[in-house]
Structure 1
Amino acid sequence: MNKDSSFPENSEELSDLDSLRKLLRSHPSEDKIGRYEVVDFLGQGGMGKVYRAYDPELIRTVAIKVIDWRSNRNVQKKRLLKEAQATARLSHPNIVKLYEIGEDDQNCYLVMEYVEGCNLAQYLKKGIPSYSWTLNILYKISLAVHHSHKEGILHRDLKPANIMIVKDEPKVMDFGLAKVLSDETSASSKGKVVGTVQYMSPEQLRAKKLDERSDIFSLGILFYEMLCGQRPFQGKTTLEVATSIAEQVPIPLKDLDSSIPFDVEAICLKCLQKERQKRYQNANLLAKDIKRYQDFFPVHARKRTLSYVASKWFIRNFSLIRTAAAISIAFILVLVNCYIYFKLQEKEAFLVSKEKFPVVKKELFESYQPDTGKNQEYIGFAIADLWESFSLHEGFGRMEKRIESLKNLFPDSSILHQEAGKIFLLQWIRHKDSSYRTKALENLEKSLACKPWDSETAFCVYQIYFFSQDWQKQEIYSNLLIKENPGYSLYFKAQDAYRQIRLMDKAAIRQKDYDEALAYCQSCLEKLPSFAAAYGLMASIFVMMDAYDQALSYCQKALALKQEKAYSYRFPKYKEIIKKDISFMNLYCLDFFILEGKIYEKTNQYDKALAAYNKVLSSFPSYSYALINRAEIYYKQGELSFAIEDCSKAIEEKYQIARGYSLRGNSYLGLKKYEKAIEDYTSLIQLLPEKSEFYLLRSGVYQEMKQYSKAIADLEQALKLDPKNQKIQFLKTVLYKMSLENTHK
């Protein structure tokens, strides 16, 4: 229904602007189908030609399928009407919508939703997609097909060319071969084989009466092709392909790619059973089995042996059966791991708050009376007092003097030097003053020189050298950590695998890439069972896989471990007070609250995502990444003033600048504050002049302001950067015509 387009991801903003609608409003066409103005030809469908057109009454772009009258008109018309009657009953987010059926003197036609994207056949030409992507796409297609089956409709021609991919969301189209299950007769002649042979079921080839299970077989062929890049039934001629479908058993997927999981292979091959009763009996059961695999439950496609069920239970409950804590990572690790995650994700440095921290509750040390015989307890209270002063944002110069005085009193205290190192590190992250980094390293390395050896401190020092690109010292500390516990070696390998995945194009990522990173994490946790960072890394990997339930589970496990660590060095009589200090927990678990917020945001649970980001911002009021994430949610909820406020704060901090300008510009646009939007889009262009989509955004605003020459100039620049983008060329042509008409008025 559409040809491939490279229109930028920011097309939502153009939609918000109603640019296309208003550009086309005064763009009459000589070619019309009914009231619709033909814009261009999209392709040849199974029943006729497909066009993109403009509806001047409803001011929207549509796709029109026009029947091919080369054969008997009445029969063709009957088939087209049958298609319309079937499709019109379908309302599902993963099915292309039918708006209208029409007829004029020349044509009988269908008016359908216009979908911007490429079809699955075009997508697969780029390479074999990841297992995660394939499973998510097939899951949604299965639900769409099940919906059509519930309405009594078979598709009968499921194939990659009939599935559009729009921002990683499938849309099933072309029910031109649909058959109403309740009908006794068909628009096709009895016994006629209709469909695409390569994706037909055995019973469809034999022109037998079909049911839902025929579409299941077609989905199996589709699934097989997505997993390994070739169809399960081969042949040089149509007859050879048909014979293969009817008689041959497909090559096992693991023979073609040994990394394909057994469960995934079993689900696919169950769809491809020759006997209908051995397949999934409906598409909903197929979708449920995919979901079971994603959630680490035994799938129904495999024989449920005791060992198989037990292995699934073990994976699903991995966090509950692990042994007791061996090594824990303290507050410093939160900050540094947070830095890793956001550096990779945004390619912009992160900066934590310049505002004050929440106050540490004074009840912690109200009952304390100095006692030189209780040095350990005195150090504990001194550390708490330092953190309270830091949270109150007292002059840092005075704090440094107090730290030095305490270190003079207790020169061999590992915990005191460790906590002092944390405070200096936080100042470094806040202000990017290298002198604080130097003092952080001095204190942390002094802590390591004191007995006993502390792995968490060594890990933090390793991370600082890593981000400072001091590879020699980084290697020294990585070797020390590995010598202390081989689990760290596995964690470093998991980090490397994770970074490599993030650098890959999504279409090039294979399930084995994810599996490798996850396996390193799991092996690490066997040796470091209380290593919160490893749980957090697993959660991040599952986010990349779009497996949000698993991601949330591991993220919450990391949070629990962090909170447990926060209480661990407190004296028993003060632990309950600390546990009630929510602001302290928000500070301590910063990185995992951010991750939790992203997971909730990905699953459209905006209230929960806001709650997570608010926890972070209550401790780091100017933390740019959390501000921008919260602004995005406000924008989606239509709270544009709040979005602008958060973006402005983030931009002031000089981090997340590109996201800040883009989102703030979009928000100003939504409020019709065009001059403000122009300012932000201009700043964005100055920051990233190679991005064509930013010129498109600014062009749309100029068009709203009727400054056509500037709008056209921006489109011309966008075309220079993206010369193959037909959408930009189309907009430029129409806008040029509008400018001429405006001149003649």
Structure 2
Amino acid sequence: MDYHNRENVTAADSRAETTKKHSEFFDHLRTQSPIVKGQTFGRYHIERPLGRGGMGVVYKAYDTKLKIPVALKVIANQASHQNQKRFLLEAAATARLDHPNIVRFYEVGEKPQPYIAMEYIEGWTLQQLIHERRLKETHIIDLMIKICEALQHAHKKNILHRDIKPANIMVTAQGQPKIMDFGLAKVRDEDVEKLSQSGQMLGTLLYMSPEQIEGKATIQSDIYSIGATLYEALTLRPVFQGAHYVNIVCQIVDKYPVPPHEFNEKVSAYLEAICLKCLEKKPQKRYNDFRQLTKEFRNLQQQRPILAKRYTKLDAARYFFLKNKILTLAVISVFSILLVAVTFITHAWQQAQDLNVLLMQEKKKTEENLVKLKQEQQQSQVLVNASLKSLKYAAKKSPRLIQDKKFVQPFIKVFQQADRLKTAKELRWLRGAIFGQSNKRRYLEESIKDYNHVIADSPEDVLGYINRANTYRKLGKNEEALKDIAKAMQIDPKRAEPYVFRANIYHRQGKLNEALRDYSVAIELNPSYVDAYAGRGRLYIDKKMYHEALVDHDKALALEPNLAKAYVNRGRLHMMKSNFRQALKDFGDAKALGVKDANLDTTIARLRMLIPKRKK
């Protein structure tokens, strides 16, 4: 067995009478000698250390009575008073639990110093299996079902684990998971609540839910931690990463997880949906309990309908909308739809004073086509050149409209009939662009079909290749996407957009050096390309090159002052440098640009607490 770098290795649970005895239980701790091989704890003989944690050391020992190996947890002499209490509560907590997928409790003793005897597991931690063996999805689902059943058993006993993570789950050679380390567990009993509800942030940060960071652990907090564990099993990386404690906390609180398929294109859409539902920011949006989550995994295993929806949540849609950087054209052929779209975009233009020349030219062409349309009383043969970039800008001013079914549905209805219109050739291009922005697989597949026709008719259409590549990427077909991007580069080697697109894919795949090269080439080709600076800035953050990241974010915001996400990223960079005033300013600018996330308000409030008030 390998208890690899284990920490906090016991279960915290209470019985009031046990807690009352804690002072005499620890009276002799400070004078104990180091534990050595062959030393005896009751009927247990020490063999070797297995791991060390914050509250003590775990040893492999031999039970001379039962003739079996055991894991012996011994509290550290230097343990804090708070950890001493948790150690005392552990025996009662673990003793309540009797489940084949939870490490069994044997005995608690106090001589020569306090210890707990537990089941010894031959196997590996789930963390080791994830990163050394790359588990198959079917195996992951099997493990998740058993782990969830075990946690449901614990919750029925009113025990919250609060430190679920891959390192705290052992897997036997027979493939059976065993949950261990209930050392931060919370028993929902009155006496223990006083210890657990002190507002402390308990747990391992990378797997903690937003509410647990606030010291408010619930059943849904353990569900979030299972989601974070599943995410790592699917992607080989934690949900959020960062070199700075505050940076990770801010991401957990206010950033949406990158969908797992962006790191592993083989992840099934339904398993990804379950994972993301577990990781919802609001506890009430997650699964009600582990019984429901277990049923969800079983339904997936048996190919039955599941509760989690693929890409239908507003947060997921917003995430993709902000991440998408591909330039497309939107052409509208029916007068009523054209009028709605132009009114929508024009409203955004009227609110902004810094629109670039391209948008003004597009607006002028649109208005000229409208005049011509009215004069000829026609509802076809009208082309409106409007880039997705301009639609995205308008959406920042009125984000709900772009998600409004009443606005989107007329487009879809017309595009479904495009083959019957006289402008079918042009509308194929537009329909491919609009369907390519959908999150529904059937529309994405229709987009591919449309662009197959477009490219067959116009083999030198660079934007056609770029747009089809974007749709392939959304379908998880990165190889096809990269082929289309290579073709676009071949047709127009001086165009910057394909390099940024490819860099984004490389970045998601963890090919940081290749991504850095492409971002830099794009900047050489177009020194004013905002997306290239913003993308390279994010890449530098992942490479822990924070100075370079800050320079690129400064450049991106100098070129385009309305990049809300860039303000958020730059604010985090300033936080890492402890430039809290500048971070507060950047977060404030992001909020002013339309970022309406309550969690951002929480981050701003925390910053205000960190910044000392200036003397008048």
TM-score when scaled to structure 1? 0.36
Structure showing the higher helix proportion among its residues: 1
TM-score when scaled to structure 2? 0.44
Higher relative contact order (CA 8 A, sep 6+): 1
